[in-house]
Amino acid sequence: MPWAEQKHIPFCLVLTGTGTDVGKTVTTAALLASLLDHQDKAMAVKIVQTGIAEGSAGKTAASDSYHYRMAGAGAAFPTAQTLHSYPLAASPHLAARLVGQKLSCQELASEIRTFVSAHSDYDVLLFETAGGLHVPLNEHEDWLTLLPLLGFPVLLCAANCLGSINHTLLSLDALERSACKVLGLVLNQTHLCQDENERSILSDNIASLRQRLPHLPLSTLPYCDCEQRFQKLSQALIPLRELIVRSKTPKQATSLIERDRASLWHPYSSAEASAPLSAVRTAYANRLILEDGRELIDGMSSWWCAVHGYRHPHLERAISRQLAQLPHVMFGGLTHAGAIGLAERLKSHLPKQLNRVFLADSGSVAVEVALKMALQYQYGLGEKQRRRFLAPLGGYHGDTMGAMSVCDPVNGMHQLFSDCLAKQIFMPRPTCRFDQPFDPQSLEPAKSLLAQRGEEIAAVILEPIVQGAGGMWFYHPDYLKGLAELCQQAGTLLIFDEIATGFGHTGKFMALEWAGVTPDILCLGKALTGGSMTLAATLCTDTVAQGICAHGQVFMHGPTFMANPLACACAHASLDLLETGAWQKQVHDIEQVMRSELAVCATLPSVADVRVLGDIGVVQTKSPVDCSALSRYCIANGVWIRPFNNLVYLMPPYISPLEDIATLCRTIFQALLTTGTGI
Ligand SMILES: *Cc1c(COP(=O)(O)O)cnc(C)c1O
């Protein structure tokens, strides 16, 4: 939608402080006066007022909105508003609790967004917080929880006094860590200067902060207690006002989506025809927040990755700590504790034969590494004719050339490249369902192919238990047992691609545990870092490693970002969370809810099959669904899923509240019913 057709959005600014009594209200009122002076339609809003009973805010001089009103005297429209007020002059969490209420950041954010929409005729809305950044709003949340949800730029107010430099820098650090864009800093002189010494401290504060923060606009407000002080002080804020006036005019006449369409590729997208696209501003737990403020329940874990949800504080802290220590260093000839510890830790969760770890930067690369390991191993053994891979139909292993060559050759999009890809050998997908008794017949194709062409085959590669992007198909664990034996007899290696299934999705930590089979080579990725960084791993047995390195050979792969320390730190943090074991009950409960809530989809004539395993819930339709229509319906109903082909599926973060899981399932049912997809 072009910008001009969109509803006008006021410029919103949050005014916060380094503590209480640092002159926030004076600054807000003076800035308001300055904006009104400039003929801007502006209002100041106190988000939470304490020390004032409900309803009397604005009428008494003790309330901040009273001052806003003074600053706006003469305006032909309201210039002051208080959203919440409580009688006790205390921190909001306590003041609210004493009258039996509880503030919630999520509710405050949506209340503020509604307020902004209702005041779209204003040019500027100023929102003042209460106290400093870590002042609690409830037992778990503070202003730093709320501000990223709003996404408004922030003006930091500090008192000019002894300690200002320290308080200001600490507050700016905290704002930065919470991804808040700081528009500027205002230093207030909150009392009359006593003597020459104090004067020199105050002027040094200003000079020092200017030096430390050369790029941050800094305004100073002198002490003033005369009548009309807001009008007087407003003069000092003219540069700040100019900054706001400049920021409020959109630099681009086009929306983010239009700019995206003009420049970017998306996964499996056309540069010509535009599929539906939404811009995400932030996310938390199992919620995505769009640029326009809408909030969606996430059913995708961002393609299997974000198993702990978004912006988990433990992962965020691990990344910031590592960022401060060593974000990256080359892995050739150098090493670091993060990678070493991660290799040891991954091994501790896997069959002990998988002893050597290659840390790559994405799943496809981990698959390339696995294929090259198998080829180099066979080469080392003198088995130079073993140049091919055997893979089941319906597999998916990534989008690079080697990985594509072992993906489903018909179903996947890779048939386009079939003339350029290495020719591999394919067999039917494991036919025996996960939830039915094992049928040994399902192993026959593997048996006969290995008997006929075993000599050509370096390795068999497949996704254990769940074929993901190739069809969300769950097959019987005994298939893997039988296949492992056949491989052994044929002298071919067995590669498990656990990139999608690893780290709990199937209800076991690794899907291979269902079968109790140890492959020769194992690929991990996706949820390895809990979804905040890209990292993958390929593990192999000592036998494979020795074969590769026979005759003085080296393993021929080494990506630039191999074992990236930030990604390793994030993987450690994710393993910390998984090792608490909480995921087991979470995945189990999600599975139960999906089983009962998705079952009804099977009654739709368009639906061919409904299946659930761990946190993977699949509704397979008889013919391809209208993915765009389905996505649009779901977004309009507050849900994020991304169906493909004839598969509408869920893979929600483990931390999702169960009522959200139920909502996801019900929305899928309604979406299939309403969009009339399928036959
Ligand atoms: C996603 C996926 C890959 C590819 O991983 P990328 O990080 O996207 O390169 C490989 N194998 C499986 C089973 C996958 O699900």
Domain at 131, CATH number: 3.40.50.300
C-alpha to C-alpha distance for 361 and 374, rounded to whole angstroms: 19
Q: Do residues 145 and 35 both lie within one domain?
A: yes
- Assigned domain for 317 exists: no
Task: Note the pLDDT of residue 55.
Answer: 81
Q: Do residues 627 and 648 both lie within one domain?
A: yes
Question: What is the β-pairing status of strands 493-497 and 466-467?
Answer: unpaired
C-alpha to C-alpha distance for 14 and 16, rounded to whole angstroms: 6
Q: Which of 648, 639, 650, 649 is nearest to 606 (CA)?
A: 648
Q: Residue 250: pLDDT band by 50, 70, 90 thresholds?
A: low
| Residue 193 near residue 199, CB atoms below 8 Å | yes
Helix (H) or strand (E) holding 324: helix 313-325
Helix (H) or strand (E) holding 663: helix 658-674
> Is 526 marked active-site?
yes
- Assigned domain for 310 exists: no
- Assigned domain for 348 exists: no
For residue 446, pLDDT over 60 is answered with: yes
Structural domain harbouring 150: 12-247
259 alpha carbon, distance to own chain's centre? 22
- The reported pTM is 0.85
C-alpha to C-alpha distance for 106 and 103, rounded to whole angstroms: 9
Name every residue whose Cβ is closer than 8 Å to that of residue 561 and which is 6 or more positions away in sequence. Answer: 328, 361, 567
Residue range 422-446: average pLDDT? Answer: 96
Burial (CB count within 10 angstroms: exposed 0-12, middle 13-18, buried 19+), residue 618: buried
Q: Do residues 443 and 528 both lie within one domain?
A: yes
- Assigned domain for 501 exists: yes
Q: Do residues 370 and 498 both lie within one domain?
A: yes
Ligand 1 atom nearest to CA at 534:
7
C-alpha to C-alpha distance for 502 and 363, rounded to whole angstroms: 12
Instruction: Give the start-end residues of each E strand in 69-110.
Output: 80-86
Mean pLDDT taken over the chain: 94
Question: How many distinct structural domains can be found in the chain?
Answer: 3
Residue range 13-21: average pLDDT? Answer: 96
Name every residue whose Cβ is closer than 8 Å to that of residue 289 and which is 6 or more positions away in sequence. Answer: 149, 151, 280, 281, 282, 283, 295, 296
* pLDDT tens column, 78-102: 999 999 999 999 999 999 999 999 9
Q: Do residues 73 and 93 both lie within one domain?
A: yes
pLDDT over 70 percentage in the chain: 97
C-alpha to C-alpha distance for 363 and 562, rounded to whole angstroms: 12
Q: At CB < 8 A and 24+ separation, what contacts does 418-427 make?
A: 422/387, 422/388, 423/388, 424/388, 424/389, 424/390, 424/391, 425/388, 425/389, 425/390, 425/391, 425/449, 425/453, 425/456, 425/457, 426/390, 426/391, 426/392, 426/393, 427/390, 427/391, 427/392, 427/393
Lowest mean pLDDT among 274-283, 299-308, 430-439: 274-283
Q: Which of 361, 497, 520, 660 is catalytic?
A: 497
Q: Which of 508, 526, 615, 649 is catalytic?
A: 526
- Assigned domain for 410 exists: yes
- Ligand 1 atom 8: the closest Cα is on which residue? 363
- Ligand 1 atom 6: the closest Cα is on which residue? 363
Distance (Å) from CA 530 to ligand 1 centroid: 15
User: 3-class secondary structure for 100-160?
Assistant: CCCCCHHHHHHHHHHHHHHCCCCCEEEEEEEEECCCECCCCCEHHHHHHHHCCCEEEEEEC
Q: Do residues 385 and 241 both lie within one domain?
A: no
C-alpha to C-alpha distance for 535 and 527, rounded to whole angstroms: 9
Q: Which of 386, 566, 396, 385 is nearest to 473 (CA)?
A: 396
Task: Note the pLDDT of residue 412.
Answer: 62
Residue 377 maps to which CATH number?
3.40.640.10
Distance (Å) from CA 397 to ligand 1 centroid: 5
Q: Which of 303, 304, 361, 367 to mutate to test the pocket of ligand 1 (most atoms within 8 A of CB)?
A: 367
Q: Do residues 102 and 55 both lie within one domain?
A: yes
Q: Residue 179: pLDDT band by 50, 70, 90 thresholds?
A: confident
Strand partners, 648: 619
Residue 656 maps to which CATH number?
3.90.1150.10
For residue 1, pLDDT over 80 is answered with: no
Lowest mean pLDDT among 13-17, 99-103, 131-135, 250-254: 250-254
Task: Note the pLDDT of residue 224.
Answer: 87
Q: Which of 222, 217, 185, 182 is nearest to 202 (CA)?
A: 222
Task: Note the pLDDT of residue 246.
Answer: 85
Name every residue whose Cβ is closer than 8 Å to that of residue 481 and which is 6 or more positions away in sequence. Answer: 515, 516, 517
C-alpha to C-alpha distance for 430 and 395, rounded to whole angstroms: 10
Question: What is the β-pairing status of strands 280-284 and 287-290?
Answer: antiparallel
- Assigned domain for 304 exists: no
- Assigned domain for 210 exists: yes
Residue range 588-613: average pLDDT? Answer: 97
For residue 678, pLDDT over 50 is answered with: no
C-alpha to C-alpha distance for 629 and 113, rounded to whole angstroms: 27
C-alpha to C-alpha distance for 64 and 45, rounded to whole angstroms: 9
For residue 413, pLDDT over 70 is answered with: no
Report DSSP state, residue 433.
B
C-alpha to C-alpha distance for 147 and 300, rounded to whole angstroms: 25
In the structure encoding, which two tokens stand for residue 40, read together?
Answer: 């801007």
- Assigned domain for 198 exists: yes
For residue 5, pLDDT over 70 is answered with: no
Residue range 36-47: average pLDDT? Answer: 95
Residue range 607-636: average pLDDT? Answer: 96
Three-class SS state of 5 = helix
In the structure encoding, which two tokens stand for residue 223, read together?
Answer: 């002490």
Q: Which of 294, 293, 13 is nearest to 152 (CA)?
A: 13
For residue 254, pLDDT over 80 is answered with: no
Instruction: Give the start-end residues of each E strand in 589-671.
Output: 607-613, 616-621, 639-640, 647-650
For residue 418, pLDDT over 90 is answered with: no
Ligand 1 atom nearest to CA at 497:
13
For residue 511, pLDDT over 50 is answered with: yes
For residue 7, pLDDT over 80 is answered with: no
Task: Note the pLDDT of residue 193.
Answer: 81
Q: Do residues 243 and 277 both lie within one domain?
A: no
Q: Do residues 514 and 606 both lie within one domain?
A: no
C-alpha to C-alpha distance for 15 and 68, rounded to whole angstroms: 13
Lowest mean pLDDT among 184-198, 489-503, 561-575, 613-627: 184-198
Q: Which of 176, 199, 237, 173 is nearest to 23 (CA)?
A: 237
Q: Do residues 376 and 228 both lie within one domain?
A: no
Q: Which of 284, 379, 396, 633 is catalytic?
A: 396
Q: Do residues 616 and 499 both lie within one domain?
A: no
Q: Do residues 401 and 442 both lie within one domain?
A: yes
Q: At which of 559, 590, 618 does a domain end?
A: 559
Distance (Å) from CA 348 to ligand 1 centroid: 23
Ligand 1 site residues, Cβ closer than 6 angstroms: 362-364, 367, 396-398, 463, 468-469, 497, 499-500, 525-526
pLDDT over 90 percentage in the chain: 86
Lowest mean pLDDT among 136-150, 414-428, 443-457, 581-595: 414-428
In the structure encoding, which two tokens stand for residue 47, read together?
Answer: 């988000």
* pLDDT tens column, 308-340: 999 999 999 999 999 999 999 999 999 999 999
Task: Note the pLDDT of residue 252.
Answer: 47
For residue 233, pLDDT over 70 is answered with: yes
Residue range 258-282: average pLDDT? Answer: 91
Residue range 39-44: average pLDDT? Answer: 96
Helix axes 313-325, 565-579, angle to 10 degrees: 150
Ligand 1 atom nearest to CA at 400:
9
Task: Note the pLDDT of residue 251.
Answer: 47
Distance (Å) from CA 324 to ligand 1 centroid: 30
| Residue 17 near residue 157, CB atoms below 8 Å | yes
For residue 136, pLDDT over 80 is answered with: yes
Q: At which of 183, 213, 247 does a domain end?
A: 247
C-alpha to C-alpha distance for 8 and 31, rounded to whole angstroms: 22
C-alpha to C-alpha distance for 282 and 637, rounded to whole angstroms: 19
Q: At which of 192, 218, 247 does a domain end?
A: 247
C-alpha to C-alpha distance for 465 and 321, rounded to whole angstroms: 37
